[in-house]
Amino acid sequence: MTVPMQGRSAVLAQRGLVATDHPLASAAGLRVLEEGGNAIDAAVCVAAMLGVVTPMMTGIGGDSFIVHYHAATQRVLGLNGSGAAPQTATPEFFRQRGFATMPLRGMLAPSIPGAVDAMATALEQWGSGRFTLGRLLEPAIYYAEAGFPITAKVAAWFARTAEGEVAPILARYPSSARIYLPNGRPPRIGEVFVQSDLARSMRAIAERGARAFYEGPLAEAIAAYAQSHGGLLTAADLAAHRSEVCAPLTTTHRDLVIHTTPPPSQGFVLLEMLNILEQTNVDTLPWGSAEAIHLMTEAKKLAFADRLAYVGDPRFVSNPLDHLLSKEHARDRSRAIDPRRAQEQVPAGALREQVGETTAFVVADAEGNVVSYITSLSAAFGCGEVVDGTGILLNNRGGRGFSLEPGHPNEIAPGKRTKAMPRPRGTCRSSAISSITAWTSRRPWTGRAGSVFPQRIRPASGRRLN
């Protein structure tokens, strides 16, 4: 196997692998594998930890998408852990209040948080049965309560967002500023960051189960705060939420089969990009060359234009995926690529604001099971507003994803899920999972961070079980 030159070696192991963007999260997942857990057990533990140690990226107030490869059956399934718009969220509600576009911050921006139910559903479907949700939340609860030293990368994320638009937004909400701007500023390298309110909320979930987030005192606190701060989320909205296990979308790319989550995830965008690139000469160009990056970027523009124009919640709109993922469509779209010139505008639409932050991670176990897991608040620090007394920062998936344009596939509607950025994926060669990248039959796991496409999703801290 020829491996492109990179800044560090790939992580190799024989009995398991965890690749995340924080060393404490990687260590927590590895510990679960060492104690007899499988890939899903470890992934749930990692997801909870990342919500504590990278709070600008993810948390229990966000949502999740999962692709799971079950080695014994060689079957790939997806899990949609995104939430819907509140039942009172109509286009008229926003238009009557003077909104031309959806608000990006504050209590009108969140969709129903799906992250906690996604953890519980994944455990029920694919977990080993050796671990309860409560046990897997223990490391996250510990570090939320006792605190953890801010690493250079997390400090840089705090600083970067503080230098842009996020710090003033956090300062706007006292409940957020009290946690994320201690002493009136973002935490710095080496300072111990404590989230005691979040620890109490997670302990309630650990003791009473995932439904404690959606029903009972915690759910009532979330709904009461939203309602008293101009939002639409209600206790009934939270109680109605359920995750969905789904068949993945697939496409072929040379000798590979790529699997990803279906709408409302935008996973199909990756598949369309690969189909378009298959029509070009990108495979003959040097890795990382300007010519290769140009082709990848142009393919991405075209696929995202199709996403913006045609795809939404399949419960509300008809998504023409058979056409969008056909090789014929890819050939037609590839003709729009000029190898010498970047397109400033793409035919089907224009890309809107880019303030997104998301975390992705991968877990593989000794049996060959592999999990690709994306968990997110949508934008950096989500809606910007913590539910006071709970430590829970809510997402802004609704504000970033929905449209107020009449007839648009993502026009907001009660109970509708917006198209979502996260798109976990797995790649198979001859029925064996090969990317994240991994091999079965006692051949070594190989962890790779990042993607061939320019992304802000880059899991960077690998741990292995030899």
- Give 87-123 as a DSSP string: TT--HHHHHHTT-SS--SSSTTSPPPP-HHHHHHHHH
Catalytic position from the list 54, 121, 359, 440: 359
Helices (H), 8-108: 23-34, 39-53, 91-96
How many C-beta atoms surround the C-beta of residue 48 within 10 A?
30
Q: Which backbone phi and psi does 127 adopt, to 5 degrees?
A: -70, 165
How many C-beta atoms surround the C-beta of residue 108 within 10 A?
24
Q: Are 180 and 374 in contact (CB under 8 A)?
A: no
Largest pairwise CA distance in the chain: 61
Active site residue 359: yes
Q: Are 270 and 253 in contact (CB under 8 A)?
A: no
Q: Are 54 and 154 in contact (CB under 8 A)?
A: yes
CA distance 373 to 13: 20
Sign of torsion, CA 231 182 374 292?
positive
The radius of gyration of the chain from alpha carbons, rounded to an integer in Å, stands at 21
State the catalytic residues: 359
